C-alpha cells in the first residue's frame, strides 16, 4: 500500500504511464487515464482523508459470439474492453464496507447482516451485499473496507457496467483479505449470484465471466456450475482493427416482453423433448421434429432454436480462426453470427414497433461504409441500443464520423480488447 498523496505525485510524474498503457492499450488514452486516476485519489482523500490505499480495476465486456445462448447452457465468445470501473480502497476494522461511487451518495453495508433485502433490489447496495455473502458462504475471508469508485463503462450500451461493479467488489475483497487468490471464475459466479438473488435480475454468467477473467475468452456453459473457460491466446492489436460500439439511440422502454420471449420460446422447444434447456436436446432430433414443433409452437420458436444450435457451432469456429490467425475468416463468422441474430433469433427490432428500427439502420449504414473491409452485428440483448463493429484502424475516423452524423455526436465509441480482467492495479 502507498499513501494517497504519494500516489498522486507519482501519477503526476508519469511513473505509471507504462502500466496504464499495458492496461488500456490505446496510447491516446494515457493522459486522460492519468488524470482519471489522480482525480479518483483526490476524491478518496476528500471523503476519507490521506491514508495508505490500493487501487483495483474491473473492465466492461463485449459479446463477440454466442448471442443469446448462455441462458440455454450454450457457448460464448466474449472480451473484456478498455473501459472499466476503478476503486481506490483501504482495509478497515469496523466490519463495514463503505463505498462512495462517483455521483452517488455514500453507502454502507454491515458484514454482520448480509441477508437480501427487498428494498435494496436494483441497487448497488444489493450487489455489494450479495457478493460479500457469496464469498463468506464459500469460506473466503471478508472484511471491512472503504472505497471511492468511478466507472467509464457506458451504462445502457450493453457493456455490462453492473458486471464490472460486481467484479470490482469481489476483486477488492480478494486483494485485501485473500492475497488475490480467489479464482476469477468463482468471482464471476459470486457476481451472478448477487445479481440474481439480491439485485433481482435473472442474468446469465457471460457478463461477469468476461469482466472477471479478462481478455478474449471462450466459455462453454454446458455445466453451469463449473463452466469451461478458456482464454483465447491472441494479440488482437496485431490484426490492425478496433472494436467500435455504436449507440443507435433506440429506446429500451416496453421491451421486457421481447427480451423474455427469447429464452421462453427456446425453453418451450426444449420442453417438447422433455428437457429444460436446448443444450440438452440432440440437434438431429430437433431437425427431424421441425414439422411437429412448428405445429405446436409456431415458426419463430423453431427459428430461434435453429439460431441456438448453429450459433453454438459457430463460436468454436470463431475461436479456431483467431488461434490460427485467420482474421478474415473470423470476421466472416462474426458477420454470419450477426445475420443469424437478425434473421432467425430476430432481436434487431421489436415486432411491436416496426417503424422504429435504429439497430437495423446502424447495421445497414455500417455495411455501406465497411464493405468487405470490416463487419458489424447487433450487440448484446438487441431490439434497441447498440451495434458492434470490427473496423480496420485506417478507416476508424471515417466510420466514427459517419455513425456520429447518423446517430448524434459521441454515438460511436472506439474501444480496444483488454487482456486483463479484475485486477489489482497498484
Provide DSSP, 31-58: HHHHHHHHHHHHHHHHHH-S-EEEEEEE
Question: Residue 155: what pLDDT?
Answer: 66
Whose cell is 467500435? That residue is: 244
pLDDT digits (tens, 9 = 90+) for 268-302: 999 999 999 999 999 999 999 999 999 999 999 99
Question: Residue 161: what pLDDT?
Answer: 82
Report the distance separating Cα 186 and Cα 134, nearest Å: 10
Cβ-proximal residues to 316 (8 Å cutoff; 6+ apart), any chain:
75, 218
Among the listed residues 165, 143, 160, 57, the one whose alpha carbon sits nearest the alpha carbon of residue 98: 143
Topology of the domain covering 1-60+79-212+234-268+344-425: Ribosomal Protein S5; domain 2 (3.30.230)
Contact 254, 399 (CB under 8 A): no
Question: Which positions of the chain have pLDDT values less than 50?
Answer: none
Question: Residue 157: what pLDDT?
Answer: 53
Report the distance separating Cα 314 and Cα 336, nearest Å: 9
Provide DSSP, 141-205: ----EEEEEEE-SPTTTTS-HHHHHHHHHHHHHHHHHSTT-S-HHHHHHHHHHIIIIII-----S
Cβ-proximal residues to 9 (8 Å cutoff; 6+ apart), any chain:
none
Question: Residue 352: what pLDDT?
Answer: 85
Report the distance separating Cα 426 and Cα 422, nearest Å: 13
Q: What are the residue boundaries of the structural domains of the chain, listed by start?
A: 1-60+79-212+234-268+344-425
pLDDT digits (tens, 9 = 90+) for 126-140: 999 999 999 999 999
96-101 and 145-151 beta bridge pairing = parallel
Amino acid at each position: 500500500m502507498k499513501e494517497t498523496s504519494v500516489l498522486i505525485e507519482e501519477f503526476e510524474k508519469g511513473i505509471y504511464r507504462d502500466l496504464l498503457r499495458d492496461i488500456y492499450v490505446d496510447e491516446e488514452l494515457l493522459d486522460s487515464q492519468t488524470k482519471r486516476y489522480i482525480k479518483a485519489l483526490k476524491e478518496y482523500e476528500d471523503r476519507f482523508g490521506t491514508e495508505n490505499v490500493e487501487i483495483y480495476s474491473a473492465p466492461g465486456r463485449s459479446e463477440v459470439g454466442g448471442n443469446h445462448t448462455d441462458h440455454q447452457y450454450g457457448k460464448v465468445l466474449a472480451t473484456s474492453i478498455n473501459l472499466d470501473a476503478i476503486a481506490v480502497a483501504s482495509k478497515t476494522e469496523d466490519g463495514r464496507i463503505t463505498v462512495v461511487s462517483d455521483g452517488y451518495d455514500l453507502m454502507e453495508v454491515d458484514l454482520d447482516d448480509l441477508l437480501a433485502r427487498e428494498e435494496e433490489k436494483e441497487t448497488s447496495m444489493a450487489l455489494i451485499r450479495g457478493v460479500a455473502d457469496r464469498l463468506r458462504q464459500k469460506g473466503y475471508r471478508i472484511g471491512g473496507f472503504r472505497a471511492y469508485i468511478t466507472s467509464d463503462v457506458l451504462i445502457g450500451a450493453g457493456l455490462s457496467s453492473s458486471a464490472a461493479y460486481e467484479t470490482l467488489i469481489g476483486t477488492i475483497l480478494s486483494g485485501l483479505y485473500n492475497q488475490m487468490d480467489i479464482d476469477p471464475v468463482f468471482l464471476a459466479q459470486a457476481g451472478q449470484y448477487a445479481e440474481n438473488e439480491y439485485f433481482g435480475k435473472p442474468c446469465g454468467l457471460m457478463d461477469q465471466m468476461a469482466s472477471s477473467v479478462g481478455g478474449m475468452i471462450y466459455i462453454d456453459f454446458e455445466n453451469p456450475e463449473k463452466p469451461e473457460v478458456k482464454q483465447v491466446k491472441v494479440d488482437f492489436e496485431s490484426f490492425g482493427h478496433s472494436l467500435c460500439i455504436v449507440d443507435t439511440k433506440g429506446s429500451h422502454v416496453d421491451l421486457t416482453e421481447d427480451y423474455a420471449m427469447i429464452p421462453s420460446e427456446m425453453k418451450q422447444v426444449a420442453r417438447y423433448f422433455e428437457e429444460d434447456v436446448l443444450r440438452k436436446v440432440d440437434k438431429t432430433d430437433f431437425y427431424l421434429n421441425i414439422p411437429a414443433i412448428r405445429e405446436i409452437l409456431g415458426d419463430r420458436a423453431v427459428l430461434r432454436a435453429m439460431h441456438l444450435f448453429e450459433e453454438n457451432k459457430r463460436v468454436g469456429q470463431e475461436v479456431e480462426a483467431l488461434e490460427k490467425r485467420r482474421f478474415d475468416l473470423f470476421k466472416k463468422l462474426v458477420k454470419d453470427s450477426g445475420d443469424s441474430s437478425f434473421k432467425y433469433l430476430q432481436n434487431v427490432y421489436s415486432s411491436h414497433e416496426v417503424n422504429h428500427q435504429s439497430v437495423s439502420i446502424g447495421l445497414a449504414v455500417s455495411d455501406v461504409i465497411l464493405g468487405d473491409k470490416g463487419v458489424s452485428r447487433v450487440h448484446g440483448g438487441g431490439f434497441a441500443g447498440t451495434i458492434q463493429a470490427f473496423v480496420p484502424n485506417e478507416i476508424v475516423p471515417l466510420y466514427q464520423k459517419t455513425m456520429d452524423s447518423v446517430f448524434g455526436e459521441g454515438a460511436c465509441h472506439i474501444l480496444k480488447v483488454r487482456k486483463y480482467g479484475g485486477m489489482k492495479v497498484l
